[in-house]
Amino acid sequence: MTELLQKVRVIDPVSEIDELFDVLIADGYIREVASHISDISSDTQIRDCQGLVLGPGLVDLYSHSGEPGFEERETLSSFLQAAAAGGFTRVSILPDTSPVIDSPALVAQLQQKRAEGQRGRKAEKSLSPLLPCSPAPLLHIWGAITVDVAGKQMTELADLVSAGVVGFSDGKPLENLALVRRVLEYLQPLGKPVAFWPSDRQLTANGVMREGTDALRFGLPPIPASAETTAIAAMLELVATIGTPVHIMRVSTARSVELIASAKAAGLPITASTTWMHLLLDTKAVKSYHTSLHLDPPLGSPSDVAALRAGVRAGAIDAIAIDHTPYSYEEKVQAFAEAPAGAIGLELALPLLWQYLVETEEFTALELWRALSTNPAECLGQKVSAIVPHQPAELTLFDPQQTWKVERKSLYTLSQNTPWLGQQLKGHVVQTWC
């Protein structure tokens, strides 16, 4: 199919462009980008895109797939469809499935599953013209650092690299610093990203909410900010000693942003990410006791949120991750402190971030798109192409004004664990080209 997108707002962080253009797409490639395109074939599908935004496909650094092991939460197929519906053309799943992705065989199994799903999706395309993306987003797989993500014994790192993992992460705190040091030494020659979630679980204890007056007011066990910052400080010391590049996941406190900014200024080879919900909500939101607000790390104070937003804009925090964490209804219908931590987000992140950060003019459109596309790709050691002729069409078309209701029939993901369930949102992805 050849498509002409007329008068679309092109947001391209690679070329630093935010302008209106006509964009011609044919056979999976961008053929022409110009202020006006009139020389087109008779079979070209013309779309009036006034008011719509076209940007590079979004890239998610890390999220959780229910499959294998927890298909009642999320299948790989529903995960990829939710990602496409949210504007993501590349997604990366953490290894804490069941069984854990700690061997080449498990990596091959997931790659085969994705390939089979893609073949089935192509077959059903003619019957389901509203599928948001064809083919499905590119699936990346994080290999486990330790066997069974238990934090005790290293996996066969080189074998996992040969199997095609995008990088290494347990997705859980790894507190044995001697083991962390050894991992950094072993990974240095392999040239793959490694992502750690610094968190001192002894300081976290049984806490479920950021320490402060709101935790006292709501009667919930607190987690001090130092549970994160002390672990980050230790990680930075190891990076300074060994020199292996490291990605720091799930940054959630103002002090953490300061530590990371100072380390970058000193030349340490680190990148960092926060999650989309930590940019939007603070501890006051927990007043509802909605279990989808039970996150780990917990939502921060208003000053934490302000620091995280400033950190993303300034570059101390490189990327915004989704950390999509599906759970069944039964798992989440518990007391706040007893419910498992996490929430879905693949289909919600772009609309809500745009509404509360771009439309309020706190972020420019380029700043938000960069943190959701080019920067996450760079953290994975990848590149995103500019929106220019002869480049593959890996794109997201977004309507900032389209309204929709968050409910089961409007979501591709199987799980519904989000505090926005039942609410009306503004902003919706129209199409993705993968």
pLDDT in tens, 157-175: 999 999 999 999 999 999 8
Section 331-359 average pLDDT: 98
Catalytic residues: 323
- The pLDDT value recorded for residue 114 is 83
Residue 304: pLDDT above 70?
Answer: yes
**Rounded Cα distance, 398 and 366, in Å:** 14
- The pLDDT value recorded for residue 124 is 43
- Among the ranges given (127-131, 260-264, 336-340, 369-373), the one the predictor scored with the smallest mean pLDDT: 127-131
- The pLDDT value recorded for residue 205 is 96
Rounded percentage of the chain residues whose pLDDT exceeds 70? 96
- The pLDDT value recorded for residue 119 is 58
- The pLDDT value recorded for residue 116 is 77
Section 77-84 average pLDDT: 95
- The pLDDT value recorded for residue 130 is 40
Asked whether the beta carbons of 266 and 239 are under 8 A apart, the reply is no
Residue 314: pLDDT above 90?
Answer: yes
**Rounded Cα distance, 303 and 280, in Å:** 12
Section 135-163 average pLDDT: 96
Asked whether the beta carbons of 228 and 203 are under 8 A apart, the reply is no
Q: Model's pTM, two decimal places?
A: 0.95
Section 21-47 average pLDDT: 94
- The pLDDT value recorded for residue 131 is 47
Give residue 427's region: left, alpha or beta (phi > 0; psi -120 to 50).
left
- The pLDDT value recorded for residue 136 is 85
- Among the ranges given (126-130, 159-163, 262-266, 289-293), the one the predictor scored with the smallest mean pLDDT: 126-130
Residue 108: pLDDT above 60?
Answer: yes
- The pLDDT value recorded for residue 370 is 98
Residue 134: pLDDT above 80?
Answer: no
Residue 122: pLDDT above 70?
Answer: no
- The pLDDT value recorded for residue 129 is 37
Residue 149: pLDDT above 80?
Answer: yes
Nearest to 136 by CA among 77, 94, 95: 77
Residue 307: pLDDT above 50?
Answer: yes
- The pLDDT value recorded for residue 126 is 33
- The pLDDT value recorded for residue 125 is 41
Q: Give strand ranges (E) for 35-134.
A: 45-48, 53-56, 58-63, 88-93
pLDDT band, very low/low/confident/very high, at 3 (cuts 50, 70, 90): very high
Alpha helices in 139-275 (DSSP H): 157-163, 177-187, 201-204, 213-218, 226-242, 254-265
Residues in CB range of 83: below 8 A, 6 or more apart:
60, 91, 137, 346
pLDDT band, very low/low/confident/very high, at 235 (cuts 50, 70, 90): very high
- The pLDDT value recorded for residue 128 is 36
**Rounded Cα distance, 177 and 190, in Å:** 20
Question: Which tens digit of pLDDT belongs to each residue from 171-222?
Answer: 999 989 999 999 999 999 999 999 999 999 999 999 999 999 999 999 999 9
- The pLDDT value recorded for residue 434 is 87
Nearest to 169 by CA among 142, 190, 189: 142
Section 320-347 average pLDDT: 97
Cβ-count burial 396-412 (b if 16+ within 10 Å, e if not) = bbbbbeeeeebeeeebb
- The pLDDT value recorded for residue 191 is 94
Section 415-421 average pLDDT: 97
- The pLDDT value recorded for residue 50 is 97
Section 94-111 average pLDDT: 96
